[in-house]
Amino acid sequence: MAAVALRVRDLGKHYLIEPSTSRSHTLKDSLWRAARSALSLRKAARGGRWDLWALRHVSFELEPGTVLGVIGRNGAGKSTLLKILARVTDPSEGEGEFFGRVGALLQVGTGFHHDLSGRDNILLSGAILGMPRAEILRRFDEIVAFAGVEAFLETPVRHYSSGMYMRLAFAVAAHLDSDILLVDEVLAVGDAEFQRRCLGKMDEVARTGRTVVFVSHNLAAVLRLTHRALVLDGGRTALLAPTGEAVAHYLDQHSAAGGERLWPNPEGTHSQAPFAPLALRVRDESGAIVGAVRAHRPFSVEVDYLLRSPVHGFRVGIRFQTTGGDEAFTSFDSDAKADDPPDGVRPPGRFRSRCTVPGGLLNEGHFLFGLQARGWRRGLFTDEHALAIRVEPGGPEGLWTDHRPGPFRPLLAWQVEADDGQEAR
Amino acid sequence: MSRLVGSDPPAGPARILLRPARGWNALRLGELWEYHEVVLVLVWRDIKVRYAQAALGLAWAVLQPVASMIVLSVIFGRLARVPSDGLPYAAFALTGLLPWQLFQNGVQRSSLSLVQNANLLTRVYFPRLSLPLAAVLGTLVDFVIAALVLAGLLAWYDWTPAPERLVWVPALAALAVLNTLGIGLWLSALNVRYRDVQHTLPFLLQLALLASPIAYSANLIPEGGWRTLYGLNPMVGVIQGFRWALLGGPAAGSLLAISAVVGSLLLVSGLYYFRRVEWSFADRL
C-alpha cells in the first residue's frame, strides 16, 4: 500500500554557535546571565553568537527499495541529515515520515562495551541498534561466522585486535533487519579486505529491496551501491538525480575549481609529518591549468610538496579512478628511475613531481585523482579524492561520437587489409 | 526529540514521524514499553560491567551496607547512644540503610547516565528515558542482596516480622524507586546542561544522608510543623515505613503520605522536564 518508504519535507537544522570554548556552560554562567539581563546591565546577551544552518530546505521522497547516496564536501550537512533521519538529533524545522522499521548505522560498534565479551557485545549492540532479542539469538551463529571470531567469543573485546573488533561490530550491524537502513561512512574504516566485505554486504542489503540512505565520501561505493544521489552543498540540496548524473555534477563542482587543488600552507604548523602536500595541478599542452582535457591530447599532472625530514625510498604517486568506481591505474614518480635502489634517501626540501599523460589513453568521462606519498614500506599520505578532471571527447571531428564503456580508449595501431585469398568482396 | 506518533493498523508498516519538538511534550510512556528490551539490556550491561569486572564481584553489594551498618552501630549506637525506638541498633541502622542505599546509588548512577552514554545518545535512537530508568532499575540488584543480608541479621536476632506488615515492603520499595527516579530524571537532564551537578552531587547526597533518619529515628524531630518540614525529604517516610514493616517500629502514616505526595510530584515534574529538554541532549553532549 505504501508507495513511499521515506519522505522528508523542508528539513532544516539550526545551531547557535557560541564563541566561548566550553559548550556546557556552568550553572554560574546561566545565573549570571539571567541576573545581568534582569538588571539590564547588558542587553539580553546574544552578543557574539551567530546562527548556523547546518542543513536547510532539504526535501525528498524515496520509494521502497531505493538506495539513496548522499554526497558532498566536509561540512555540507551530510552527517547532520543522517542524524536527523536517525532521530538522534531533532530537526529545527520541516518534517519527515518513515514507513517501516528504521535502523541506523552511524558508527561501527555502537553500544559496544570494552569490558564485555564478544558474546555479550553481540547481544548488547544488537538490542541497542533495535534488533528484537529473539532475532539476535536466531542469527547469533550467522553473526559470529560472518565476523570470524568463534574462538574469542568469551574474550572481552578490549583484547581484540582492531580488525577483529571492527569485523564483529560490522557483523552485528550488517544483520540488522530493518526496512529502512541509514548508513554513515561506516566503510571508511578498516583495511581494504574489510572494506571489500562491507561493500559486498551492502550490495546484498541493497538487492533485498530495502530502502537505504548511504552517506559516503567514497564515490566509487556510492556509484556502485546507489540508484539515486543527493548532492549537498553548504547544507542545501544542490541536486537530487540518478547517481551517475549526481556524481558528475559533484565532480564538475570540484573541477570547476580549475584543475588545481591547493593545501593550506604547512609552514608554521607544528606538524611533524614528514610529507605535506602543497598543490596538485593539471596542465594542458600550453601549460595552462585546466579542469577539463581533450581525450586525444596529452596533459600533465604536477604535485608540489614539502618534505620535512629525509625519507628512505620516498615516492609520490597519482592514482586514477573512474567515477564508475573502477581503478584505472596508479603511477609513481619513482617509476622512471627503476634502476635506483628502492631505499635511497630523499633529502628534506620542497619538490615538484610531474608527469605527462599521453593523449589517446583515457576514455571520455570524469576521473578522480588520488594523491599518495610513500616511504620505504610505509604510507606517508593518502587523499583518494585530491582532484577530479573531465576528459572530453576528442579526436578528429565527427569520428568519435559513440560512447564506449571502460576507462581507456587507447589509440591502437590498426591495420585494415583486404583479404583476397578467401571470399571476394 | 522527534516523536513516534502511533502506528498504522496492524497490517501496515509502522509510521514514524519526525518533526521539531519544542515546548511541553507528551510523555509517550507507551513507546518506552515498546523499547523495554533496550531498557533491560542496559540494566543487564550495567550490572555485568559493575560486578563481573570488580575483583570482589557481587561481594561489594554485601560489603557496602554491612560496613556502613558497623560504623553506624559503633559510633551512634555504642558511643553516642542515639535512641533507636527501642530496637537493636544494628537492625535499626541496616533497615534504614536498605532503602537509603537504593536511593543513593540510584540517584548517583542515573544522574550520570546521560553523560556517560553520550556515544549512544549521539549515534542511535531509543527513548532517552531508558537511560536513567535503567540506571535506577540496576540498583534493585544491590537492594535485593542487601535485603538478604538484613534477613540474615533478623534471623540472627531471632526476629520474625509480622506478616500483615511485611506485605507492605514491596509497596515501600516501589515508593523508594519512585523517589529515586524522580530526582534522577531531574538531575540527569540538568547534568547535560550544567556539569556542576555531577561535581556537587556527592556533597548533596552527604547532606541528604544527614537529613534522613538513618543513624537516628525520625521521632527525634519535634512533632508538628518541624516534623512535616523534615518529611519533605521524601526518603524520611520510606525509611520510617521500612522500620515499621520489618522491625515493628512506630507507625509512619503521615510521614509516608508526605513521601508519596512529594515523590509523585518529583516523578511527574521530572518526566515532563526531561521530555521538554531531551531534544537538546544530542547537540549538547
Q: pLDDT tens digit string along A181-193?
A: 888 876 666 666 7
The CATH number assigned to the domain holding A268 equals 2.70.50.60
Confidence bin at A359 (pLDDT 50/70/90): confident
Residue B54 is predicted with a pLDDT of: 72
Domain presence at residue A40? no
Within 8 A by CB and 6+ apart from B86, the residues are: none
pLDDT(A69) > 50: yes
Are the CB atoms for A225 and A325 separated by under 8 Å? no
Residue corresponding to grid cell 538522534: A88
Confidence bin at A37 (pLDDT 50/70/90): low
- Residues A101, A106, A107, A110, CA torsion sign: negative
What does the H/E/C string look like for A95-107? EEEEECCEEEECC
- Write out the H or E segment, with its range, that includes residue A213: strand A211-215
Contact A23 B124 (CB under 8 A): no
Contact A128 B38 (CB under 8 A): yes
The range of the structural domain enclosing residue A387 comes to 260-392
SS3 B230: helix
Task: Answer with the one of A219, A254, A289 that is the final residue of a domain.
Answer: A254
Residue in chain A lying closest to B50 (CA): A115
Q: What is the pLDDT of residues B123-148, one digit of tens each?
A: 899 999 999 999 999 999 999 999 99
Domain presence at residue A122? yes
Which chain A residues contact residue B126 at CB under 8 A? 128, 130
What is the grid cell recorded at A104?
541506523
Task: Answer with the one of A195, A229, A254 that is the final residue of a domain.
Answer: A254
Q: What is the mean pLDDT of residues A298-305?
A: 94
Which pairing describes strands A275-283 and A311-312: parallel, antiparallel, or unpaired? unpaired
Residue A255 is predicted with a pLDDT of: 57
Contact B20 A93 (CB under 8 A): yes
Q: What is the mean pLDDT of residues A330-349?
A: 82
Report the alpha-carbon distance of residue A200 to residue A194 in Å, rounded. Answer: 10
Whether B10 contacts chain A with CB within 8 A: no
Specify whether A139 is located in the same domain as A249: yes
What is the grid cell recorded at B40?
533491560
Domain presence at residue A416? no
DSSP classification of residue A43: S
Q: What is the pLDDT of residues A110-169, one digit of tens each?
A: 889 988 999 999 999 999 988 889 999 999 999 999 888 889 999 999 999 888 888 898
The CATH number assigned to the domain holding A81 equals 3.40.50.300
Specify whether A71 is located in the same domain as A146: yes
Q: Which of B13, B45, B126 sits opposite A100 (nearest CB)?
A: B13
Confidence bin at A21 (pLDDT 50/70/90): very low
Specify whether A250 is located in the same domain as A264: no
Are the CB atoms for A7 and A97 separated by under 8 Å? yes
Task: Answer with the one of A220, A254, A288 that is the final residue of a domain.
Answer: A254
What is the grid cell recorded at B31?
513507546
Specify whether A220 is located in the same domain as A285: no
Domain presence at residue A412? no
Kindly report the backbone phi and psi dihedral angles of residue A149, in degrees, each rounded to the nearest multiple of 5, phi listed first: -120, 25
Residue in chain B lying closest to A82 (CA): B123
Which chain A residues contact residue B195 at CB under 8 A? 24, 26
Residue B58 is predicted with a pLDDT of: 79
Specify whether A206 is located in the same domain as A320: no
Specify whether A196 is located in the same domain as A326: no
Specify whether A80 is located in the same domain as A97: yes
Residue corresponding to grid cell 553568537: A49
Specify whether A155 is located in the same domain as A266: no
Contact A115 B19 (CB under 8 A): no
Closest Cα partner for B256 from B126, B139, B165?
Answer: B165
What is the grid cell recorded at A261?
587543488
What is the grid cell recorded at B144?
535485593
Specify whether A195 is located in the same domain as A319: no
Within 8 A by CB and 6+ apart from A30, the residues are: B194
- Lowest-confidence region among A10-24, A319-333, B37-51: A10-24
Residue A424 is predicted with a pLDDT of: 47
Which chain A residues contact residue B18 at CB under 8 A? 8, 11, 84-85, 87, 91, 95-98
Domain presence at residue A283? yes
What does the H/E/C string look like for A80-131? HHHHHHCCCCCCCEEEEEEECCEEEECCCCCCCCCCCEHHHHHHHHHHHHCC
Q: Percent of chain A at pLDDT above 70?
A: 83
Specify whether A242 is located in the same domain as A370: no
Residue B12 is predicted with a pLDDT of: 43
Which chain A residues contact residue B38 at CB under 8 A? 127-128, 130
pLDDT(A403) > 90: no
Whether B59 contacts chain A with CB within 8 A: no
Q: What is the mean pLDDT of residues A392-420?
A: 74
Which chain B residues contact residue A8 at CB under 8 A? 18
Which chain B residues contact residue A61 at CB under 8 A? none
What is the grid cell recorded at A224?
556502485
Specify whether A145 is located in the same domain as A169: yes
What is the grid cell recorded at A323?
567515477
DSSP classification of residue A419: -
Residue A270 is predicted with a pLDDT of: 64
- Tell me the DSSP string of A350-417: EEEEEEEEPTT-BPSEEEEEEEEEEETTEEEEEEEEEEEEEEEP-SSTTT--S---SSB---------
Residue scoring higher pLDDT (B63 or A49): B63
Specify whether A60 is located in the same domain as A157: yes
A63-A66-A67 Cα angle (round to 5): 150
Residue in chain B lying closest to A84 (CA): B18
How many domains in chain A?
Answer: 2
Domain presence at residue A217? yes
Whether B123 contacts chain A with CB within 8 A: yes
Residue B225 is predicted with a pLDDT of: 85
Report the alpha-carbon distance of residue A264 to residue A272 in Å, rounded. Answer: 15
Domain ranges across chain B: 34-284
CA distance B118 to chain A (A): 10
Confidence bin at A42 (pLDDT 50/70/90): very low
Domain presence at residue A420? no
The amino acid that residue A258 corresponds to is G
- Write out the H or E segment, with its range, that includes residue B132: helix B130-156
| Ranges under pLDDT 50 in chain B | 1-12
- Lowest-confidence region among A173-182, A227-236, A284-293, B18-27: B18-27
What is the grid cell recorded at A191?
583495511
